Each structure stands twice: as C-alpha cells, then as structure tokens.
Structure 1
Amino acid sequence: MTKKKRNYYLLYGEEEPTRTLQNGSYIGKVMFLTAVARPRWDNEGNVTFSGKIGIWPFVKEVPAQRRSDNRPRGTLETKSIKVNRQVMRE
C-alpha cells in the first residue's frame, strides 16, 4: 500500500524497499480504531498520562492463494476487513 509516486531517502548500504502494486493508480484503504482521552497532570504540572491509549488497524494477514510475478504463492498479504459490530468487539 503506497502512493503512485513517492520519494524516500536511503542510508548508505540500506536496501531499497519492495513496493509492489497490482495497479499503479490503486491505493489501498485501511480503517483504524483509535482511543484517546484527556491528558492528566500532577500538581507540579508534569504529565502523568499523555492521553494516548492505542491504535488498532482493521486488517488481517492471509497467505496468497496464487503466485504472481512479484511474489511466490503463500506469501503473507495484508488485507483490509469489513468493519461491523462483531469485529469492533473482538
């Protein structure tokens, strides 16, 4: 899941990341559940709780059923899942 044209900088000796797409114009969409609250401070003004609780993506990793020119069969792919009440509770 990446943009069509993306610039990035690599350190010396760092490998170029593999960025395979089925279609160059297609950008995958993933939904996230984020929980935040009000931050808490003590009497001296120091933060005791930042308010950040967590972030959870609604995705699953499934093995590829067929091979492709870009990857062999069985490679784990990240797929988005349909979000409903049951999925939210899990």
Structure 2
Amino acid sequence: MPLLIDMPIEPEQVPQLDAVLITHYGNDHYSAPTCKALAGCLHRIPRFGGNGPHFVRWNYACPKVLLEDGIQRFTEGVELYKKEYPG
C-alpha cells in the first residue's frame, strides 16, 4: 500500500534508533519496506507477537518479542509494558 503522506526523511537517512514498536501488522501501523530499510540502525525490535521471521531475514540481530501480558527491559532506562485503558 502506498504512503498517503510525504515522509520528512527517508529510512536510509536515520542514523540510529533505540526501538521500533509495532503494535499490529496493519498498513496504518507497519511498513515492511521501512522496517527492512531500518535494519542497519537498530539491532533490537520490541514487538507484539507476529512476524519475527521477517526481521531475521532482513538482518536484524535477535529481534525480541514483547508478549501482550509481559514487561520487557530492552536497554538501560527503557521498559515497555501493556497498559489497559477503561472503555
């Protein structure tokens, strides 16, 4: 699916990332070409379940899975966790 907006920079221009959080694999929250292009600047991906083998094929080192009911520490000072909201 093509992007509906112009991005301010290309993925190849991103020097370094601390994390990429993918909440689900819909086209509005996940872009396979972008994730593939970011492989050089990020070595760990926190993500909720899903398509881990893609990240191995794209040369990410050890993608990590954040389970929906779990807490995972990825690097000093960075923790991700699921929070329930009423409604």
TM-score range, shorter chain: under 0.3
Using the size of structure 1 for normalisation, the TM-score is 0.23
Larger radius of gyration: 1
Q: Which has the higher strand share?
A: 1
Q: Which has the higher helix share?
A: 2
Using the size of structure 2 for normalisation, the TM-score is 0.23
